[in-house]
Structure formats: C-alpha cells, structure tokens
Structure 1
C-alpha cells in the first residue's frame, strides 16, 4: 500500500475485478466461469490489502495503527466473501458487496499512501 509497494499489477488486479463485476454473465452456463474468474482475482486483491502499512516514524504510529486495524477488517471481509463467490445465489448482493470492498480497499490504499507522503514531507523539512 505504500508508494514503492504499490505496483501497476496491483492496480490492474483491482481493475480486472471491477470489470468482471460489471460484466456478470446473464446465462447459467457462463456463470461458473465468471465465478472462478472472480475468485482468482481475490488473491491479487488480498496482496494489495496486506502489503506494508507505511512508515515507522513514531509521530505516525497512531495513523499507522489505524491502517493496520483497517487492513485486518478488510482481510476478514475478503475471507468471508471468498466462499460466497462460488456459492452465493444472490449475485446482485454479492456483486454489491465486492464493489463495496473494492472501494474500501482503494480508500485504504490512499490512507496508507498518505502516511508515506507525510513521512517524506518530514524528511524533506515540510513546507518551510
């Protein structure tokens, strides 16, 4: 989630999953393939979530701790959604829950990136 740890592949994983959710197949035949494609994209999403939380500066410890707690909640939500992808009969609710998770992961990533920015700003002397 930090600057150097966030890669184009991570952003690509989020984009692929978003596209899959937008293109849910209407037929029962294509549904099994779609479910497995979505399920495969959960692994890269998990990698995005569990990447390092950011700087270790003492003055940022509280915010870093908040990112770590948020990460734990996101991983738990992702773990709960994994089996649902393959078996949940309510696809509309499943897609809504997955899109909500994607939005929360993007917000989490931004907060962790803000920590990195604040650390760099301190090292460079701020705006003085």
Structure 2
C-alpha cells in the first residue's frame, strides 16, 4: 500500500483536530464537526473494505499465517470503526469520541504499514 491510505488518514486526522473549543461546542459548530468527521471516517472505512487489495505475500514462509493475521486485524479495525460511527453523532462527549477515533486512526496507520511491509519483497543476496 504505497501512498493510498495517506490522504484518507490525513483527512480524518485534520477533521479530528478541528474539534471546536469547549466554549464553542454548541449548535452548528459541533454539528459541522460531527458530520465532517463522519464523512472522513467513511473514507477510512472504504479504504479498509475495498481500498486495500487482497494480500499477496512475496515470501513463501507462513503465507497463510500472515494472511490470517492481517485479515483479523482488518476485521477488528472495521468492528471498532462500526462501533464508533454512531457515537460521532450521538455522544454528548465529543472529546471522548475524538480520543477513541485518534486511537483507531493510529491503529489503521499501523495496519497499513504492516500490510506494506508484508507485501514488500525482501531483498535477496548480500
């Protein structure tokens, strides 16, 4: 996964950072933040579902094991994303939602890096 996930992850990160200060978390400002975050999260969901092609592992060692681990990690990330989605619009505590989404974002980035390292051919020879 070269640079494909970077724009979706970066867009979600920027949206999360735009949480209005506590004094301005009423009405349209908070509502706009919630909808923007939800839209950016949809792009990350799409990335996890279809933006990452099936795993093709170059190394013959533990091919199926690596594939199973990556699929489990992806499914766990999707389950977390699904659980957080309604909270974006409904939670009375946007700070908590932001914190949980930042953790998810970090984990999705880690997953993308692991996927890339598994897909990257290992150098042969010296």
Q: Same fold (TM over 0.5)?
A: yes
Contact 1:64 1:115 in 2 (8 A): no
TM-score by length of 1: 0.83
Matches within 5 A, 1:21-40: 21-26=16-21, 27=24, 28-29=26-27, 30-40=29-39
Matches within 5 A, 1:3-22: 3=2, 6-7=3-4, 10-22=5-17
Query: In 2, Cα distance between the equivalents of 1:105 and 1:85?
Result: 18
- Cα-Cα RMSD: 1.7
Structure having the larger proportion of residues in helix: 1
Give, in angstroms, the shift of residue 53 of structure 1.
Answer: 4.5
Give ranges in structure 1 of 5+ residues lacking alignment.
none
Contact 2:57 2:118 in 1 (8 A): no
* Count of matched residue pairs: 118
Query: In 2, Cα distance between the equivalents of 1:113 and 1:83?
Result: 30
Query: In 1, Cα distance between the equivalents of 2:57 and 2:117?
Result: 13
Contact 1:53 1:68 in 2 (8 A): no
Give ranges in structure 2 of 5+ residues lacking alignment.
none
Do residues 99 (structure 1) and 96 (structure 2) align? no
Runs of 4 or more off by more than 6 Å in structure 1?
Answer: none
